[in-house]
Structure 1
Amino acid sequence: MNNKLKGALTLLLILAITAGFCFLGVNGAGDIKLGLDLNGGVSITYQTVDPNPTSEQMSDTIYKLQLKAQGYSTEAQVYQEGSNRINIDIPGATDANEILAELGEPGTLQFADSSGNILLTGDDVKNATAGMTNNNGKNEYIIQLTFNDAGATKFADATAANVGKPIFIIYNDSVISAPTVQEAISGGQASITGLTDYEEATRIASTIRIGALPVQLTELRSNVIGATLGQEAISTSLKAGAIGLGLVMLFMILVYLLPGFTASLALVMYTGLELVILQAFEVTLTLPGIAGIILSIGMAVDANVIIFTRIKEELGLGNSVEGSIKAGYSKALSAILDGNITTLIAAAVLYLRGSGTVKGFATTLAIGIIISLITALFVTRGLLWCFVQFGATSPKLYGVRKEIKVIDFIKFRKIAYTASAIVIITGFVFLGMNKASLGNLFNYDLDFQGGSSTNVTFNEDLSLEEIDAKVSPIFKEVTGGDASVMASKVSGTNEVIIKTRTLTTEERTKLYKDLVDTFSVDENKITTENISGAVSREMKVDAVWAFVIAIICMLIYIWIRFKDIKFASASVLALTHDVLVTVAFYAGLKWAVGSTFIACILTIVGYSINATIVVFDRIRENLADPDMKKDFGACVNTAISQTLTRSINTSLTTFIMVIVLYILGVSSIRDFTLPLMVGIAAGAWSSITIAGPLWFDLTNWATKRRADKLAKEKAAKAEAKTTKKAANN
C-alpha cells in the first residue's frame, strides 16, 4: 500500500469518526440534562414537624439533604426557607411525584431489638454506603455502616447483647432491614450482608443516610419549576459558543496554516465527542459546567499551539517537515502532559471533596481534558501525517519560526511585581470599604447570603420573556436596582417565583401594591418568605477544603515532576496572584458573588497552572545547557521568550470564546464571563512576567543561602583547625 493511499484511508477514517460523533452529539443534544438555570426542574419544600427547630438542627439537616439530593443531580440545591422550611431544587427533573417517591419522606431512623427497645437512632450514624465484596468466588452485596463515637459505643453494647438475634432498622415506623447479629462488633464500623442486589443495597444505604436527620420533616409542597434563563437564552448561548469556536478555528488556520486546519478539524471532533459523553454519562449541565467546557477547549487549543510552535522552531533550524513533526510532538509532550495532568488532579480532588457547583464544574472539566488530550496527541497528529503522505512537505505550509529575540524579563521583574502588588493591595482596600458600606467583604448574591422568595399567581400564563420585561423591573425598582433578581415559572400554572435580596416591610408593602396596580392580581395570592443561601456554610467549607487540597496535590505533582520544590512554590504563588487579582476586581467593581464565583475561581486556577507549567517546562529544558545553568537569568528570559507566542495565542483563543459569550449571552452569562476575562488576562500576565522571575528569585535565594551555609561551615572548620593547632602547641 503506497503512502498516498494509506494517507487517504486514514483521513477518511478520521473524518468518518468525526462526522459520526458530530451527528450523534448534535442529534442527541436535546437529551443532555440541563440544570435549573438552563432547563428548570423539580422544587420540593419540606417543613419540620417541630415548629421551632434550632439553627444547628436546620443547618445539619440541610447539609445531609444536600448529599442526598446530589444523588439525583450534582447541581441540586438545598436551602432554608423561613424558620422551619427546607427547599430542594433538583434540576432536569420533570415529574415531582416520581422524585418524591424516590427521595422518600425524610423522617426518623431507629435501631431496635426484637422487644422494641430503641438501641440507636439516626443521630448515631455517621455514614452508610453500598458496596460489593467477593466471598469464595461469589459476589455479595453489602452495606458499610459507620457510627460516630457515641454510636460506636451504643452499637458495641447492642450487638454484644443480641448475638444470634436480629436488630431491626426502622425508618418512619417501617422496618427496612433486619440483619442478624453474628458477633459483638466494636470499632464503630459494621456490614449488613445478605442483600439481593446492588440496587437494594443502594436504596437501604440511602435511606439510612437520609434518615439520620436531626429533625423530622413533612412535605409541604412540590412544583415543577421553569428555567431561569429561558429557551431563547439557551439558544443565544449556543450560537455564541458556535461563533466563538468558529473564530478560534479561523484564528488557528490563519496563524498556523495547515497544522491550524488540522487542529480545527480536531476541535470539531472534540465538540462532537464532548456532546456524546455528556449524554452518555448523563452529566447535568449548568453555567459552571459550561465554564469547565470553555476551559477544556482552551486547553485543547493550547496543546496544539505548543506542538505547532515546536514544529515551527524545528523547521527554523532547517529540519525536514517529517522530522520537525516528530520532534515537535516529542518535545511538546512533557509540557502537555504535565499541564493537563496537573489540572486533571485538581478536577479529581474537586469532584471527590467538593459538592454542588464544584462537582458540576469538575465533571465537565475532567471530561474535556481527557478528550482534548486524545484529539491533540492523536487526531491532529494523524491528520498531519495524512497531509504529509499526500505530499504536503513544503515548510511554507507549516510556517517557519525565525530566530527568537530574547527579552530581558528578569530586568523588569520588580516593575511587574509592583504593578501586581498595587492591584492586589487595592483589592484589599476595596474589601474593607465594602465591609463598611455593604456589611460584607463582597456583594454577595442570593446563593451566598439568601434573600426573599416571592410567589405571585397572575391572572394569565406569562412567558419567561414577558416576566423579564414586565415583572422583574417592578422588583428591581422596589429593591433599588438589585442585580440579583431571579425569576422562574411554576410549570402548568400561572405562578411565578421571584427571588431578591431580603425585602424590608416597607419594600414588601410597596411591591404588593405595584403588582396589584399593574397586573390586577389578588393580593391574597402573593406570599413572601425569607430564604437562606443555597450555598450553605458546609458547602462553602467543602469548596475551600477542595481548593486547598487541590493546590497541595498540584504542588506535590509539580515538585515530583520537576524535581525541585522551587518550581512548585513559584507556580502556586503565581496561581495565588491570579486569584487575588480576580478577587480585587470582584471587590472593586462589586460584582455579585454567588455559586458561579466558585466555578470562576476554579477555572482561573486550572488555566493559570497550565500556562505556568509550559514556561517551567522550557526552563527545565534549557537548564540542560551548561551555559544556561550558569546564568539563571538568561535561562528564564530565553524560556519566556520561547513560549511568548504560545502564551499570547492561547490567551487570545480562550479570550475569543469568552468574549463572544459575553457579547451575545444573556445577563447571567455576562456576569459570569466578565470575571473570566479578567482571570485569563491575569493568567497570561503572571505566566509571562511573574512565574519565571519568581523561580529565578527563589533559586538565587536558595543558592545564596547554600553558599552562606558552606562558607560558615568552612569558617567553622578553619577555626576548629586553628584552635586544635594552638592547643597542640
Structure 2
Amino acid sequence: MKKSKSIVAIIIIVAIIAALGYYAFGVLSATKDKEDAGIKLGLDLAGGVSITYEAVDGAPSSEDMADTIYKLQRRAESYSTEASVYQQGDDRITIEIPGVSDANEVLEELGTPGSLEFQTPDGEAFLDGDDIADAQAASTGSDVNDSGYVVELTLTDEAAETFAEITGEYVGQQLPIVYDGETISSPTVQSQITGGTAQITGMDSYEEAEELASMIRIGSLSVELEEVQSEVVSAQLGSDAISTSLKAAAIGLAIVMILLIIFYAVPGVVAAIALALYTALVVSVINVFDVTLTLPGIAGIILSIGMAVDANVIIFARIREELAADHSVLVSIKSGFKKGLSAIVDGNITTLIAAAVLGARGSGSVRGFAATLAIGIVLSMFTALVISRILMLSFYGLGVKNERAYRKAKARKTINFIGKRRIYFLVSIVIIVIGFGYMGYQSNQGNGALNYSLEFVGGTSTTVEMDKDYTVEELESEVVPVVSEVTNDSAIQTQNVSDSNAIVIKTRTLDLEEREELSTALQENFGVAEEDIQYTNISSTISSEMRSDALWAVIIAAILMLIYIWFRFKDIRYASSAVLALVHDILIVLTCYALTRISVGSTFIACMLTLIGYSINDTIVIFDRFRENLTNAREKKDADAVMEIGNKSITQTITRSIMTSLTTFVMVFVLYLLGVATIKDFALPLIVGIISGTYSSIAIASGLWFSFKLHIGKEKLVRIPKAVKQPKEEQKTEKEETEPKKELVSQKRKKKKRR
C-alpha cells in the first residue's frame, strides 16, 4: 500500500472510531442514567412492568397452569426477550416485562388473555385456542403498493381434519372468530381448506394483521385469566451494578490493550485500535437494534470481546512464525492473515451455530445471551479480518518495515503434552468425582445437590408497605441483611414499587414459623404494621419448559457443532474430541457451583452458554494446526511421529491460547473485583470456566484426539519400530574402522590446499 493511501486509510478508520466512540459514549452515559436514549435494560438492571392475572374459574390444574405460563412467556417475549412469567399461589400468574414503564400501555396492547373459539354461523364452537399451533401476520404481493395483508394460521394435527370438514360444509359462509365473547373477525370460507394451514385475508394494514394474529396466539391458553394488579417495579440490581460493570469493562479493556501492545508491538497497536472500534460497534448495534441487555447479555459481550482479541492474536502469531521462517515483513503479513483465516472462520462459525440454536430454541435470558453473542461474533470477525488487515498494511506503507517491530517468533522446545494425557485424564476425573460426591452429600443432608435460586425452585414473595421510599441501594444495604438473618440464605431479591413505598422481597420458600419471624423482624427494624405485610408462594420463573428448551438447545447446538467440525476436518475423531472436551468443561464448572454453593439461577445458564462458545473456539484453533501440520507430514500412521506433530502443534499455538485466555480472564476478573454480589456470583464460575476451557483444549481435547486415532477408525495409528541400536562393542569397532578413512580424507584436503 502506498504511503498516501496508507495515511488516508488510517485517517478514515480513526474518524470512524471517533464518530462511533462519541455515539457509544453517549449511549453508555444515557444507559447509566437510565435515560430513553440508552440501551434497553432488562428487569434485573432497570426494572419494568409487573402484571398479575388470576384464573376466572377457581383453581385450575397444575398442568393447565404450567401450559398457560409457558404460552404467556412466549407472548411476553414479543415485548422483550428478557420477560419472565411465574405462578403466584394456586391461581395467579405474574408477568414481568423489562424496559417498559407504562403498565396501562402494555395492558392495552397485551389484552386480557381469555378464551378463543372458531364458531359456525349457528354459534357452535368447533375449534378453540388450543387447536391453533401458530398465527403470524404476513404480506402478499411483490410490490409494496400492491401488497395484501393476511394472517397465516397453522393448526394442530388433530384440528386439521375437523377444520377441513367444517370449511367443506360452509363454503361461501362466514366462520366467526370469537375472543372472550366478542367477534374479532368473520372470514368467509372461499373453498374447503385441507392440509392444516389457512389464511385470513382482507386486512387493511400489517398492524391490523399483527393485532389479530396476536389475539389468536394469546387466546390459545388453557386457563381463562383476568387482570387483578399491575405496577411498575424497580431494578433487582441497583445503579451501582450498571456503573461498576461499565467501570470494570473500561479498566479491563485498557489492561487488555496494554498487554497486546507490550507483547506484540506494532500488531498490538493495531489490535488495540481494532478493539476500540469493535467495542464502539457492539454498543452502537445493540442500541440501534433495541436489544435488551441483562446480566446474561453482559456475559455474551465479554465472550465476544475475548473472541475479538483471539482473532487478532491468531493472525499475529502466524505473522511472527512467518518472520521466523525468514520471510519478508510484507509477505509475512499477507501470509499471516491467509493462514489464520481457517481457524478464525471455523471457530466463529461453530460459536455462531450455538448462538443461532440458543436463539431459536431458548427463551428469556437465553435468547438475550444468544443475541449479544451473535452480534459480537460477527463484528469481531469484521474488525479482525478487515480493519486489522487494512491497519497492518497501512502501517507497513508508512515505513514500519523492520521485523523487530513485529516481534519475530522464537524457537521453542516442543513440550510433551500428549504423552502425559493419562495424567490429565486422571486429574480431571478426580475433580469431577469430587464435585459429584459433594453434590450427593449435600443432597443426603437435605440441602439439595446444588444451591438452586428462586428462578429454579420458586419461593416466597413478601410485599411490605414501608415507611418511606427505599432506593435499590438502600434495600441492598439495610433490608437484605435483616431478611438474610431470618432465612440464613443470601439468595434474596428485592424490588420497590414505583409511586409507592411498597417493596417486594423474594426468598426461598418460608414455612409459617419463618414467616412469623420475618414479620417480627420487619416490624422491629422498620416500624411497619403487621397488616402491611403480605406473603405469597411463587413458582419458579425458569419453568420446566424453559429448562427443557435450554437443555435441548445445548444438545442440538452440540450435535450441529459436531457435524460441522466433522465436515470441516473430514474426521469424526476431531469432532468427538472437541465435544467431549466441552462436556468436561461443563462438568468442571458444575463442580465449582457445587463446592462453592453459589446460587444456581439464570446466570448459571448464561455461564454455561458462555463456556460452550469459549471452549469450542479454543479447541478448534489447536485442531486447525494439527490438521495443517499432519497434511505436510510424511509419516501419518506412525504413532510416535503423530504424537510429536501433535505436541509441536500445541507448542506452536500455546502462546496464542495463553494470551487469549489472559485477556478474557482480565475482563472477567476486573468485573469480579468491582462488581456487586450478584455479579461476583456470576464472574467466579466464569473465571473457572476460562481456566478449564484453556486446560481442556491443550490437555484433554488433544489427548482424546490422539487416543481416538490410536484405537478407533480405519486408519488407526501404529507403532513403527525404530532402528535397533548396535551394542557398544560393535559401535566401537565401526568407529575404529571409519576413523582411518576420515584421517585419509583430511590429508588429501590438506595436500590440495598446499597446491
Aligned to 2:57, what secondary structure does the other structure show?
coil
Task: Write the mapping of 1:675-686 to structure 2, written as runs, cut at 5 A.
Answer: 675-686=685-696
Distance in structure 2 (CA, Å) of the matches to 1:241 and 1:149:
51
Change (3 A) 1:45 1:628: farther
Distance 1:135 1:472 in 2: 59
Q: 1:706: Cα distance to partner?
A: 6.0
Whether contact under 8 Å (2:443, 2:449) holds in the other structure is yes
1:95 equivalent to 2:102? Answer yes
CA distance in 2, matches of 1:405, 1:199: 67
Residue in structure 2 matching 1:335, options 320, 335, 343: 343
User: Is 1:16 equivalent to 2:15 in the alignment?
Assistant: yes
Displacement of 1:707 in angstroms is 8.9
Matched, 1:664 2:671: no
In 1: Cα distance, 2:284 partner to 2:336 partner: 31
Residue of structure 2 equivalent to 1:229: 237
SS of the residue corresponding to residue 74 of structure 1 reads coil
Aligned partner of 1:699 among 706, 709, 723: 709
Distance 1:123 1:135 in 2: 33
Deviation at 1:484, TM superposition (A): 0.9
Per-residue deviation, residues 65-92 of structure 1 (Å, max 9, x unmatched) = 0000000000000000111110101011
Following TM superposition, by how much is the alpha carbon of 1:106 offset from its aligned partner in structure 2, in angstroms?
Answer: 0.6
Matched, 1:550 2:557: yes
Inter-partner Cα distance in structure 2 for 1:499 and 1:668:
15
Q: Which residue of 2 aligns with 1:423?
A: 431
Residue number in structure 1 paired with 2:318: 310
Secondary structure of residue in 2 paired with 1:556 = helix
Write out aligned runs for 1:187-336 (5 A): 187-336=195-344
CA distance in structure 1 between the partners assigned to 2:645 and 2:717 by the alignment: 21
| Closer, same or farther: CA 438–250 of 1 in aligned 2, 3 Å | farther
Q: Structure 1, unaligned stretches of length 5 or more?
A: 709-729
Moved more, 426-435 or 389-398: 426-435
SS in 1 for 2:245: helix
Match of 1:177 among 170, 173, 185: 185
Segments of structure 2 that go 5 or more residues without pairing to the other structure are: 31-37, 719-755
Q: Deviations over 1:88-112 (max 9, x none)?
A: 0101111011111111111110111
Taking the TM superposition and a 5 Å limit, the aligned residue runs for 1:509-658 are 509-627=516-634, 629=636, 630=638, 631-658=641-668
Query: In 2, Cα distance between the equivalents of 1:508 and 1:410?
Result: 58
Pairing 1:62–2:72 present: no
CA distance, structure 1, for counterparts of residue 180 and residue 574 of structure 2: 57
Taking the aligned partners of 1:145 and 1:459, their CA distance within structure 2 comes to: 52
Partner in structure 2 of residue 345 of structure 1: 353
Partner of residue 40 from structure 1, selected from 26, 47, 71: 47
List 4+ stretches of structure 1 deviating above 4 A. Answer: 135-138, 703-708
SS of the aligned residue for 1:444 comes to: coil
Q: How does 1:453-464 map to 2 (within 5 A)?
A: 453-464=461-472
Is the 1:305–1:650 Cα contact (8 Å) retained in structure 2?
yes
Question: What is the root-mean-square deviation of aligned Cα atoms in Å?
Answer: 1.5
Q: Please point out which of 394, 417, 431 is paired with 1:386.
A: 394
Q: Displacement of 1:136 after TM fit?
A: 9.7
Which residue of structure 2 lines up, in the alignment, with residue 115 of structure 1?
122
Aligned twin of 2:141:
134
Q: CA deviation at 1:50?
A: 1.7
Aligned counterparts of 1:507 and 1:105: Cα–Cα separation in 2: 36
The alpha carbon displacement at 1:453 in A equals: 0.6
Report the AA paired with residue 70 of structure 1. E
Alignment of 1:381-460 (within 5 A): 381-438=389-446, 440-460=448-468
Shift in Å at residue 127 of structure 1? 1.6
Residue from 77, 86, 90 that aligns with 2:84: 77
Tell me which residue corresponds to 1:374: 382
The 1:154–1:136 alpha-carbon spacing in structure 2 relative to 1, beyond 3 Å, is farther
Residues 150 and 199 in structure 2, CA contact (< 8 A), matched pair in contact too? yes
> What code does the residue aligned with 1:552 have?
I
Identical positions, percent = 52
Task: Tell me the distance in 2 between the aligned counterparts of 1:32 and 1:470.
Answer: 29
Give 1:148 shift. Answer: 2.0
Distance 1:234 1:533 in 2: 25
Note if contact 1:226-1:489 (Cα within 8 Å) is conserved in structure 2.
yes
- The CA deviation string for residues 588-613 of structure 1, in whole angstroms up to 9 with x for no partner, is 22221101111100100100000000
Asked if the contact 1:75–1:356 (Cα under 8 Å) also holds between the matched residues in 2, the reply is: yes
2:158 aligns to what? 150
1:153 is aligned with what amino acid? E
CA shift digits 1:32-60 (9 cap, x unpaired): 10001111111111111122100001000
Shift of 1:633: 0.6
Task: Quote the Cα distance in structure 1 between the aligned partners of 2:86 and 2:243.
Answer: 29
Q: Secondary structure at the match of 1:145?
A: strand
Matching residue within 500, 503, 506 for 1:499: 506
Note closer, same or farther for the CA distance 1:697–1:707 as it changes in structure 2 (3 Å cut): closer
State whether residues 710 and 716 of structure 2, in contact with CA within 8 Å, keep that contact through their aligned partners in structure 1.
no
SS of alignment partner, residue 592 of structure 1: coil
Residues 483-502 of structure 1: per-residue CA shift (max 9 Å, x gap): 21011111111011110001
- How many positions carry a matched residue from both structures? 706
1:696-717, Cα deviation, whole Å (9 max, x unpaired): 1111112578699xxxxxxxxx
User: Residues 248-283 of structure 1: CA distance to partner in whole angstroms, max 9, x if unpaired?
Assistant: 111111111111111111111111111110111100
Contact persistence 1:636–1:693 (CA under 8 A): no
> Which range moves more in the overlay, 507-516 or 426-435?
426-435
Give the aligned partner of residue 472 of structure 1.
480
**Separation in 1 of the partners of 2:12 and 2:196?**
57
The Cα of 1:187 is off from its aligned counterpart by 2.8
Shift of 1:186: 2.6
* TM-score, normalisation: structure 1: 0.95
Shift of 1:332: 0.3
Which moves more between the two structures, 580-589 or 553-562?
580-589
Give the structure 2 partner of residue 719 of structure 1: none
Counterparts of 1:348 and 1:131 in 2: how far apart (Å)?
Answer: 23
Verify the 8 A CA contact 2:709 2:716 in the aligned structure 1.
no
Looking at structure 2, the residues matched to 587 and 380 of structure 1 have their Cα atoms a distance apart, in angstroms, of 42
- Tell me the distance in 1 between the aligned counterparts of 2:46 and 2:508: 23
TM value normalised by structure 2? 0.92
Equivalent residues of 1:628, 1:634 under 8 A apart? no
The answer (yes or no) to whether the contact 2:710–2:717 under 8 Å persists in 1 is no
Q: Which moved more, 1:579-588 or 1:193-202?
A: 193-202
Structure having the higher Rg:
2
Once the two structures are TM-superposed, the CA of residue 114 in structure 1 deviates from its matched residue by 2.1
1:673 aligns with 2:683: yes
